[in-house]
Amino acid sequence: MEQSSRNQLIRGQVVDLVAGRVFPGSIEVVDGRINAVNHSDSAPDQYIVPGLVDAHIHIESSMLPPSEFARLASPHGTVATVSDPHEIANVLGVEGIRFMIENGGKVPLKFYFGAPHACLQQDLKLPVHRCLPMLLPGCCNNRRSVFSVR
């Protein structure tokens, strides 16, 4: 990998999942973003692959806070998750969801949190449409919150 200030050139075998092929090439990164993918005649025998977005996970089931989950998942190619925080919502409510969002914001792995499908309030299981008025003011003002009703 070659670097100069905020620009990088990463060389290797580029895995193109859309075309279903692998080719020697380089990835040009400018200011932290991919600027170009280029073909070359030769490249090192390291593979450059897209990152994995885990589209449905319950971080709490790992028994880890998001930042520690990220430390373990990132080396395996995970770059982002869409997480359902219903377990923490059932136990700690809005404060638990807020903790997950804030803790997940401390690491490069991107965590996006959806609205839990149900929550417990005063020992009554409530459907999401009854939970959202309680959740939205405390959690939706964060760019890593993705609230949707299923």
Question: pLDDT for 66-123, tens place per residue?
Answer: 999 999 999 999 999 998 888 888 788 778 888 888 899 899 999 988 776 655 554 4
- DSSP structure class, residue 145: B
The Cβ-side half-sphere exposure at 95, using a 13 Å CA radius, reads: 2
Residue in this structure with the two tokens 């404060």, named with its chain if needed: 95
Rounded to 5 degrees, what are φ and ψ at 87? Answer: -70, -45
Residue identified by tokens 């939970």 is 131
Better-predicted residue by pLDDT, 5 or 76 = 76
Mean pLDDT, rounded, of the chain: 81
Return the higher-pLDDT residue of 130 and 106. 106
Pairing of strands 2-4, 47-48: unpaired
Domains of the chain from N-terminus onward: 2-48 (no CATH), 52-139 (3.20.20.140)
pLDDT value for 8: 92
